[in-house]
Each structure stands twice: as structure tokens, then as C-alpha cells.
A and B are shown apart, each in its own frame.
Chain A
Amino acid sequence: MREASTSPIIQVAIRGLMPVIQLVGLYVFFHGHYSPGGGFQGGVLLAVSVMLGRLALGMDMSQVVFRTGIAVGLSALGVLIYAATGLAALLAGGEFLNYAFLPIPGLDPPGLRNLGILLIEAGVTVGVMMALIAIYDEIVESRSETSVIATFE
């Protein structure tokens, strides 16, 4: 799991697949206003593209795509984006998560709600994507450590 795949077919296919999956993930996230989709689904697709890179390129090469160790913090950041959107509306005089009170000038209440939904979906996307990547990285790390211990024994 840590080493890169030796098959040239996988190496070539992954280079074509990863950007397409990322693009579809972003599309699903941004198109949540108009069709089935949204934060959870888009986040999972974005996470899958990174995991695919980890599987095919190996842990060391795929650090260029996404560095190990920052995923947990970014997952918390995603949840914070969500909560901060709600808190901004609260501080601006409305209820918690009432986007119509978001302090952004030049938009009427429906437009503000539209924007608020996009903001919290962005938070959900980052949160879910980073949570999945963090779990995957942790599984790989713990596995490689056990195998090292096993070889020593």
C-alpha cells in the first residue's frame, strides 16, 4: 500500500482519472443547488481522487498531491466554516444559521440564503473530504508500523 504500483497501465490511467474525478467532485459540490449532490457527495469524490493517487503512486509520491498530517486540521476547519457562517448570521442580528442576516452587502435575503447554502456546503465538502483522507492515511501508517514490528520479530 505504501509503495507505488509497478503496473504501467495503472500509472498512466491514474494520471487521466484523478483530474476527472476531482472535476466531477467539484461539479457535484457546486451543482448541489440545481441537482442531486452537494457537500457530502462532492467531498467523498474529492477524497477518492486523493486516495486513488495514494494507492497508485505510493505514499511518498502522492505527498505532492496532498501532504499527510494536515487532513485532520483541515477537517476541523471545514466544520468551523459551517459554524462560522451560522455565527456570522447570529452576530449580525439574526438567528444562528439564518443566512438572510449574513453581513454581506449588495444581496437581497433570497440571494443571501443562496450564498449561505453555498458557504456551508463548502464547509461540509472540506470537512468530509479531509476526514476520509485522514482515516485512510492513518490506516496506511498504522499498517506499515505493524509490518515493521513484524519483520523485527
Chain B
Amino acid sequence: MKVFYGMLLVALAAVLAVAMAGLPPRGEPKAPSHLAANAVGAPVAGTYYIQNAYRDARTPNMVTVILADYRGFDTLGETLVVFTGAIAVLFILRRRTP
């Protein structure tokens, strides 16, 4: 059984390696994920951010614009998660003195 699992893992690693070799290079403008429309013809969401991030917010860091502006509500949730986590830890750690 161990041999079978080992062979299965090697086979999966081979599939992964072949798939990796077929990926376009990093930052390739003609990569499918960077085109304005995908193979079906529907618009790709990421292209809008890349083309309009600086024009919309005059901020060179595209990641910051997406994180704090386009997806500001998501980041508000993240901050709330950190705050709620801290409150929960405090309630666990704080010793009640009756």
C-alpha cells in the first residue's frame, strides 16, 4: 500500500510539473488572465483594476487600491476580525475575581 501511495504521489507531482511547464511566464501581457476578455468573450475583472487603479485613486500601488478602495468593505471585515479576536483572547485570559 505504501508503494502504491508513493507511486500515486509521484504521478501527481509529474502532472503538476507538466501543468506548470505549460503556464505563461510571470507578467506575460498575452496571458489569458491579463486579457480584457476571456476565451468565451466575457470581460475579465482583473483587467479593469489594472487599467483603472491609478486613474481612479491616483495611488501607484495597485494592491493598496484594490485592498482599501475597491474591496474596502472586505478590509473593514478583516480589521473587525482582528479586533474581535483580540477581545475574545482578552475574555479568555482575564481572570474573574469574585
Residues of A within 8 A of B (CB): 32-36, 38-40, 72, 75-76, 78-79, 82-83, 86, 96-97, 99, 109-111, 113-114, 116-117, 120-121, 123-124, 127-128, 131-132, 134-135, 138-139, 141-142, 145-146
Chain B hits for A109, CB < 8 A: 56
Residues of B within 8 A of A82 (CB): 75-76, 79
Contact, CB under 8 Å: A138 / B69: no
| In the bound complex, CA of A53 to CA of B60 (Å) | 35
Tell me if A's interface is mostly helix, strand, loop or mixed. helix
State the CA gap A124–B68 with chains docked (Å): 10
Closest chain B residue to A128 by CB distance? B82
The number of A-B residue pairs with CB atoms under 8 Å apart is 102
A142 and B20 CA atoms in complex are apart in Å by: 51
Which A residues are in CB contact (< 8 Å) with B56? 109-110, 113
Can you identify 16 A-B contacts, CB atoms within 8 angstroms? A33-B59, A75-B86, A76-B83, A82-B76, A83-B76, A86-B76, A97-B72, A109-B56, A114-B59, A120-B76, A121-B64, A128-B82, A135-B90, A141-B93, A142-B93, A145-B95
Report the interface size class on chain B.
20 to 34
Contact of B61 with A35 in the complex, beta carbons under 8 Å? yes
Q: Which of B58, B72, B94 contacts A114 (CB 8 A)?
A: B58
- The smallest beta-carbon distance between B74 and chain A, in angstroms, is 10
Are A33 and B64 within 8 A (Cβ)?
A: yes
Partner of A33, one of B60, B85, B94: B60
Chain B min CB distance to A123 (Å): 7
Rounded to whole angstroms, the CA-CA distance of A52 and B73 in the bound complex is: 33
Q: Which residue of A lies closest to B91 (CB)?
A: A138
Query: Are B94 and A138 interface neighbours, CB within 8 A?
Result: yes
The answer to whether B79 touches A127, judged by C-beta atoms less than 8 angstroms apart, is yes
Asked if residues A38 and B64 are in contact (CB atoms below 8 Å), the reply is yes
> Distance in Å from the Cβ of B34 to the closest Cβ of chain A?
21
A111→B68 contact, CB < 8 A: no
Q: Is B87 an interface residue (CB 8 A)?
A: yes
Given contacts A32-B61, A114-B57, A131-B86, contact A124 B79 (CB under 8 A): yes
B35 within 8 A of A: no
Known: A79-B79, A138-B94. A32 touches B89 (CB 8 A): no
Q: Does B63 contact A (CB under 8 A)?
A: yes
